[in-house]
Amino acid sequence: MNDTEIIEKITTLKKQRRAVLLAHNYQRDEVQAIADHTGDSLGLSRIAAKVDADVIVFCGVHFMAESASILAPEKTILLPDPNAGCPMADMITAADVRELKQQHPGALVLAYVNTSAEVKAETDICCTSSNALKVVESLPADQEIIFIPDKYLAHWVSRKTGRAFITWQGYCPTHAKILPEDVQAQKDAHPGAVVLAHPECSAAVLDLSDEVLSTTGILNSAKNSSATEFIIATELGVMCSLRADNPGKTFYPASRHALCPNMKKITLEKIMWSLERMQPEVRVPEELAAKARRAVERMVAIG
Ligand code: 13P
Ligand code: SF4
């Protein structure tokens, strides 16, 4: 089958199954092109919770499909490749969180959404890159906070809010590939360019940036800016939308190595197969989902 035939088949199956296709901003260009909605983690969670559909085909990584299942337990959530995980989410377990809580009995647990459902069940409140500052500001000033698992996100939020956190040494291997010297080289080559970075980048990269934003934040900022040149410090999947949405502007990736292999595991064929077979399904068991739901719902309500 060629791509046109696959897309036709997906369209037919979507109607039959009453399915919607949600795609993260890092997905392959051809996957984003056929999605009903594209967005960042927070935006897609909100859509998953309220969209009128029986089935969600989640084109993203495993924790995103789990979040959708936690927020919309009545829907069937399909993740077209079950091996599309997030290495950062795998860097912390529920047992690790329980140990942290034992070490810091008065502390509240704030988890980046890039965590497993088991970890979220041990968590008081979640955040994404787009609302992390607001989530922290919503917590009492004297509250001790365990902020897991991303050390770079925690460091950036700490600097912006002046709050100290108990942290975990997790990080995103894809964003870690963006080096400060890469950003500096692009800045030297394009002195007028605005640097837009994702908070999963290292502190040294964020220090060289003009704005630190979620993936959708980066897309919106570029669209609304009067600048014409941008250096983009995040995964390369955003480049296609940036260029398509802003024909008069030029975008330079900070690093050509910033590819998330897990995000790229979802293909048109796998989407078609998942709708044909109604598999692979991600369903968080209700007992676990019930424990994780409060933290995820608090996240969705903020920002
Ligand atoms: P956003 O929430 O900004 O889309 O980021 C998700 C993610 O996994 C970034 O690596
Ligand atoms: Fe996880 Fe990084 Fe990939 Fe985002 S880009 S899904 S944090 S590995």
CB 115 within 8 A of CB 123: yes
Residue nearest to atom 7 of ligand 2 (CA): 172
pLDDT tens, 47-68? 999 999 999 999 999 999 999 9
Mean pLDDT of the chain: 98
Structure tokens at 300: 């969705």
Task: Name residue, tokens 């990584």.
Answer: 61
Ligand 2 contacts (CB < 6 A) are 61, 86-88, 114, 172-175, 200, 235, 260, 262-263
pLDDT tens, 226-258? 999 999 999 999 999 999 999 999 999 999 999
Sheet holding 250-253, edge to edge: 211-212, 194-197, 229-233, 250-253
pLDDT tens, 102-153? 999 999 999 999 999 999 999 999 999 999 999 999 999 999 999 999 999 9
Please indicate whether residue 40, judged by its CB atom, sits closer than 6 Å to ligand 1: yes
- Give me the sign of the Cα torsion angle 182, 186, 192, 195: negative
Query: What would the DSSP string read from start to end of 230-263?
Result: EEEES-TTHHHHHHHH-TT-EEEES-TT---TTG
Q: Give the type of residue at 106.
A: G
CA dihedral 72, 77, 79, 83 (to 10 degrees): 70
pLDDT-derived band at 303, boundaries 50, 70, 90? confident
Please indicate whether residue 128, judged by its CB atom, sits closer than 6 Å to ligand 1: yes
Query: What would the DSSP string read from start to end of 26-88?
Result: TS-HHHHHH-SEEE-HHHHHHHHHH---SEEEEES-HHHHHHHHHH-TTSEEE-S-TT---TT
**229-233 and 211-212 beta bridge pairing:** unpaired
Angle, alpha carbons 48-52-54 (nearest 5°): 80
What domains appear along the chain, each with residue ranges and CATH number? Answer: 3-86+263-283 (3.40.50.10800), 89-171 (3.40.50.10800), 178-253 (3.40.50.10800)
Give CA 210 to chain center in angstroms: 21
